[in-house]
Amino acid sequence: MDLNFRKIVFVVNPHSGNGKTGREWPRIGRLAAEILGPFETCLTRGPGEATTLTSRCLREGADMIVCVGGDGTLNEVINGFFDADALIRKGAVLGFIPNGTGCDFARTFPAPSGIRPALQTIKAASTRTIDLGRIRFRNHQGGTTSRYFHNIASFGLGGEVVERVNRTSKALGPFVTFIWGTLLSLFSYKKKGVTICVDDGKKFTKDIFHIAVANGRYQGGGMLVAPDAVMDDGLFHITVIGAMSLPLVLLRLPKLYNGKIKSIPQVSVTTGKKVSLSSEEQVLFDIDGEQPGILPAELEIVPAAIEMIVKS
């Protein structure tokens, strides 16, 4: 391990993966001590606490934060690295042990599967600087909030699926949980009219089924919604799925998983650095598997924003 990492802190969400992380943490902790040596542990108790704990640990001198949980926990930890627009501790790195419901980020990001390989990757401390998205939006209390995201922000059906998934049991695992949530949401979802502007282009209004503003490639437990997304190219990869009838959606649903989404006639893709979205209707959205608010929203890419440990 790089001797520059003097203080390692694990931020652990014991509730992730329907409580799986909490049940497995004693074993993971023992294995981490065996492979990495001394470290500190912070267990989260509720939503938002991973951000607070990460921020505090960085201010107290942590050089490496290791997130143990799913995409929602990782999102909170990443937000803890920043004070407004600036990193709290330059040079600090982020490690990730995927152990949640979806873990879609790990499908794009070069992270090994399995606890021991993940810890050995953290020990090797090979890093890569990746982009983040930053979104400003209306929260459920009516105020305006800004936060970072590492994977995908999606609007329309995605927000409704995540809202449903997050209030139901996840005991059947990520794929079944998300596909069941998607199928249930499909039967109640109504098309939404959304006004879209990418960079300084012309605004246009479209009836949409789903919009993904992507840094990563996957969401919803394995849906390949942005097959060309790259996490360090300084661009969002934006997928707009236009309104479709329910039978047509069900017919084309497999293409959301097999990488052929761009062959659907109602799908358009583009890239950009800024995206603005608004609607006269209530449009839910999700950020990295959490459902924090509604439109309007403004998004921008933040190039080379954070340094993460990767599989070499």
The architecture (CATH level 2) of 133-305 comes to Sandwich (2.60)
pLDDT band at 266 (very low <50, low <70, confident <90, very high): very high
pLDDT interval class at 1 (50, 70, 90): very low
pLDDT at 3 over 50: no
Looking at residue 173, its pLDDT comes to 57
Task: Indicate if the pLDDT at residue 34 is higher than 70.
Answer: yes
List, by residue range, all CATH 3.40.50.10330 domains of the chain.
Answer: 8-125
**pLDDT tens for residues 202-247?**
999 999 989 999 999 998 778 899 999 999 999 999 999 999 888 8
| Average pLDDT for the chain | 89
Q: If 0-12 CB within 10 Å is exposed, 13-18 middle and 19+ buried, where does residue 110 land?
A: middle
Answer whether residue 2 shows pLDDT above 60.
Answer: no
Structural fold of domain 8-125 = Rossmann fold (3.40.50)
Model pLDDT for residues 131-177, shown as the tens digit of each residue: 999 999 999 899 999 999 999 999 987 666 666 666 665 555 555 66
Cβ atoms of residues 54 and 68 within 8 Å: no
In the chain, CATH 2.60.200.40 covers 133-305
Q: Buried b vs exposed e over 17-40: b needs ≥16 C-beta within 10 Å? A: bbebbbebbeebeeebeeebeebe
Contacts with 30 (C-beta within 8 Å, 6 or more apart), sequence order: none
pLDDT in tens, 102-138: 688 988 987 777 899 999 999 999 999 999 999 999 9
User: Which pLDDT belongs to residue 222?
Assistant: 83
**Stated pTM of the model:** 0.90
> Roughly what angle, to the nearest 10 degrees, separates helices 174-188 and 157-165?
120
Beta-carbon contacts of residue 167 (< 8 Å; ≥ 6 apart)? none
Separation of alpha carbons 228 and 120, rounded Å: 29
* pLDDT for 103: 80
pLDDT digits (tens, 9 = 90+) for 183-193: 666 666 788 99
Angle, helices 49-59/71-80, rounded to nearest 10 degrees: 40
pLDDT value, residue 120: 95
